[in-house]
Amino acid sequence: MKIHKYKRAHNLTLPLLFLIFNILQFNVLRAQSGEPVDIIEGLEYEIGGITLAGAENLDYNLVLLIAGINVGDRVTFPSDKITRAIKNLWKQKLFEDIQIYVTGKSGRIIYLEIYLKDLPRLSKYYITGIKKSRRDELREELKLNRGIVVTDNLILTSKNKILKYYEEKGYFDASVEIVTEKDTAESNAVILGFNITEGERIKIRDIYLIGNNALTDRQLRKTMKETKRHRSFNIFRTSKFIDEKFREDLEKIIDKYQEIGHRDARIIKDSIYKIPGENFINIYIAIEEGNKFYFRNITWIGNTKYPSEVLNSVLKIKKGDPYDAKRLSERLYADPNGNDVNSLYMDNGYLFFNLTPVEVLIENDSIDLEMRIREGRQATINRVTVSGNERTNDHVIMREIRTRPGDLFRKSDIQRTMRELSQLGFFDPQQLNVNPVPNPETGTVDVEYTVVERSTSQLELQGGWGGGLGIVGTLGLSFNNFSARNIFNKKAWTPLPSGDGQTLNLRAQSTGRYFQNYSFSFTEPWLGGKRPNSLTISGYHSVQNFGGRRIGDPLRQALNITGLTVGLGRRLRWPDDYFTLYQALEFQHYRLDNFELGIPNFRNGFSNNFSYRIVLTRNNTDVPIFPTRGSNTIFTLKLTPPYSLLSGRDFTDATPQEKFFLLEYYKFKFNTTWYTEIYKNLVLSSHAEMGFMGAYNRTIGLSPFERFFVGGDGLQNFVLDGREIIGLRGYMNNSIVPSGVAGSNQLGNGGVLYSKYTAELRFLISPNPSAQIWPLLFAEAGNNFGSFNEYRPFQLYRSTGAGIRIFMPMFGLLGIDIGYGFDPMPGFSSPSGWRTHFIIGQQF
């Protein structure tokens, strides 16, 4: 006897089938073979055996476990147990037919058979009617894998995904025909075919606004960020209609009204009409603005820590201001700079602080507010923990944390800690997190910081074209989380000893015998381990050999430079703790062999450069790679002792070798960059810099080394004569030289005063820490002068262009810029024109 049977093709609902089953199941029952099995209603039977049929690949015990019936169970017909068994099996969504038969009876013992017919599985699928690029995108959307069970729900879901994909692209007339074919090559397998007709893309012809008086049509259309009218001149915004984005834009209209005091504004109707015979729609939006309201009396209740006058000064809302709920919320809880009432309390330990604004009186167009405060008691920090650091040692993280056990809880300390951890560069800033766990009973809070490690070591493979030297190849290794104390610990080499936050850089550049440069640097950021005082030791040796001749050859033209630097840095607490001070002693030894520096009678000899450098920096940017807010300002002073003034010697008749044996000069540099987030991930970077080099003794004159060279990509591809290379896109490398200087790459003939200004618009399209990508638009201007008297602040070489950057932790910053120089380079009569600049391995 078949107790119950249900197939997918049936149109009856499941409850109705169960009702029919309960009416019929206790009649004369027959086995599957057709032989009658007499079952008496109300009489209890024991299940003597259960067999499984139809599902060859299913585990027998698993089926019984899911069904919830077993040999030995007792059932009375009509049987709820059998009904539940069918329901339980049907919930698995694996079968298109489920039947349970009574196959035999012996007294009060019955024998059951469970017949299951599997749903077919997908062997493959295809998409027709569209181009290959769309097919590839749809495969990513569908995510259909071979072997999955093909259900009605799967087919319907796939169809909806395709239609949604086309709706987001503006194709509202798109249709999908889904074909199911049996795969004869496999058992119980099907092939799905998606035949797609795209239709025409629907665009927005116009947006009509009705009932708006306080705001103009233009203001409201500007508020709608994602729903735009079709205009041929607008190449940056599409006019496709996406319902989800349209609904969001309607909410933005209401937000805009509430900002100007219309707290009760609402959309009373919105309609969309397709223009007959065209692929355009018109949108109609009817608005009820409501009355405009104003703030009137604001009173504070429950405040004992701060007087009402202080809270009003933080709130910055006065009587008579338009009633703006968004602004009120921001001033109370969410000012982006932390200058809100909530932050005022939270920065003084009041973690359990609560503030509720209540509208106590609405009279005509005025609203009285009552700010109800429950201050609670001040919370102190109990425990501070860090999790997620697999390579970086705990002490490297803990020394950057501003929240200490026993201190008052301060929101600003947590925010600053998150910034400092991000600035380390060892962790993914997108996944940095903090979890305060307060305990109101004890008045304490536990603070847990969670980090996610990312690769910090970098491999630099760089190619550049160096003025007359040909292709300069570079191999560099940067270990940014190094551990020097574990160098001799074999177990710590995984593959390098890491975790102590030290930096080790090794670099080699060469064109063969024509140019070679080798350098190293090591930085310990916390010398002694107790305070953020850094120690940096670096050195380099370079050889520039025109002609590639060997040492001892009388025709050899070469410049050898050997340099060593020892520097100490520390964080300052005044004017604020975003300042750092770095001081260094530097030494360079120059050796000239028939080498032209542009100075008469100085082609052979030596020069020594003993200098002191001091760098004052203030950096409060949020993240190091793609900053969205804050600024980075650097002031640099570099000088040598005034040997000639101290000695009192008259250098009027001195030879160049005597004048430049000990170099003397002083240099100032100022560099500042400001970041402003215009929209999410859209950032404006404003940059300005200036440098000046002077001499103590006019008789000796300016140093032939340490000059400024402007133009090109700005990459420090090689050390030539101690020059500083200042990039200016749209022009050739080192091409912007002072007036009267012949040639674009003459050594020693660089400028002594330069200025440069840059505006750069960046948009982060990929925040993935393994490959951050952002395109950019830029405008630059700068110039290079031979003396302070020649300086003309508005006489600048201008350029504009576009580029793209990719930052990968393993390789650093990669990119390309295409810039157009509007002005002729020195020595040329026509504009510089289009120039391409490659950025390979440049560091921040």
Residue 254 has pLDDT above 50, yes or no: yes
Instruction: Supply the DSSP string of 414-431, one letter for each residue.
Output: HHHHHHHHHHHSSB-GGG
Alpha helices in 556-609 (DSSP H): none
Q: Give the pLDDT mean for 220-240.
A: 77
Distance CA 314, CA 812 (A): 43
pLDDT category, 236, cuts 50, 70, 90?
Answer: low
Q: Give the pLDDT mean for 43-47.
A: 88
pLDDT category, 9, cuts 50, 70, 90?
Answer: very low
- Which homologous superfamily is 380-450 in? membrane protein fhac (3.10.20.310)
Range 458-842: architecture per CATH = Beta Barrel (2.40)
Residue 469 has pLDDT above 70, yes or no: no
Say yes or no: domain 2-118 is CATH 3.40.50.300: no
What six digits make up the tokens of 537?
Answer: 């030791």
Is the peptide bond between 78 and the residue preceding it cis, with omega within 30 degrees of 0? Answer: yes
How is domain 203-288 classified at the CATH fold level? Answer: Ubiquitin-like (UB roll) (3.10.20)
Helix (H, G, I), strand (E, B) or coil at 643: helix
At residue 201, the pLDDT reads 82
Comparing 112-126, 568-582, 640-654, 731-745, which segment has the lowest mean pLDDT? 731-745
> How, if at all, do strands 280-288 and 266-274 pair?
antiparallel
pLDDT category, 36, cuts 50, 70, 90?
Answer: low
Question: H or E segment at 277?
Answer: none
pLDDT category, 622, cuts 50, 70, 90?
Answer: confident
Q: Where in the chain is the domain with CATH 3.10.20.310?
A: 2-118, 121-197, 203-288, 380-450
- Judged on CB neighbours under 10 Å (0-12, 13-18, 19+), 300 is buried
- Residue 240 is classified by DSSP as B
Distance CA 136, CA 159 (A): 16
pLDDT tens track for 367-387: 999 999 999 999 999 999 999
Residue with tokens 């116009």: 206
Distance CA 788, CA 752 (A): 8
Residue with tokens 């602004």: 327
Residue 435 has pLDDT above 50, yes or no: yes
pLDDT category, 603, cuts 50, 70, 90?
Answer: confident
Q: Give the pLDDT mean for 9-14.
A: 38
Distance CA 119, CA 148 (A): 10
What CATH number has the domain spanning 121-197? 3.10.20.310
pLDDT tens track for 202-223: 888 899 999 999 999 999 999 9
User: 491 Cβ partners below 8 Å, 6+ apart?
Assistant: none
Mean of the per-residue pLDDT values for the chain? 85
At residue 413, the pLDDT reads 92
Helix (H, G, I), strand (E, B) or coil at 566: strand
> How, if at all, do strands 812-821 and 833-842 pair?
antiparallel
Find out whether 591 and 606 touch, Cβ atoms under 8 Å: yes
Find out whether 475 and 368 touch, Cβ atoms under 8 Å: no
Residue 506 has pLDDT above 80, yes or no: yes
Residue 599 has pLDDT above 70, yes or no: yes
| 279 vs 610, more confident | 610
Alpha helices in 391-537 (DSSP H): 394-398, 411-424
Looking at residue 752, its amino acid is V
- Could you give the strand order of the β-sheet that contains 203-210, starting from the edge strand earlier in sequence? 203-210, 280-288, 266-274
Residue 259 has pLDDT above 80, yes or no: yes
Residue with tokens 């068994």: 85
Q: Give the pLDDT mean for 786-810.
A: 90
pLDDT tens track for 532-586: 899 999 999 988 887 777 777 788 888 899 999 999 999 998 899 899 999 999 9
Instruction: Supply the DSSP string of 792-838, one letter for each residue.
Output: -TT--EEEEEEEEEEEETTTEEEEEEEEEE-SPPTT-SS--EEEEEE
Comparing 18-22, 61-65, 537-541, 647-651, which segment has the lowest mean pLDDT? 18-22
3-class DSSP string for 34-69: CCEECCCCCCEEEEEEEEEECCCCCCHHHHHHHHCC
Q: Give the pLDDT mean for 807-829.
A: 88
Among 815, 750, 754, residue whose Cα is nearest residue 781: 754
Other beta carbons within 10 angstroms of residue 551's beta carbon come to 10
Residue 663 has pLDDT above 90, yes or no: yes
Q: Where in the chain is the domain with CATH 2.40.160.50?
A: 458-842
User: pTM (2 decimals)?
Assistant: 0.66
Partnered with residue 616 across adjacent β-strands are: 581, 635
Among 595, 603, 512, 604, residue whose Cα is nearest residue 557: 595
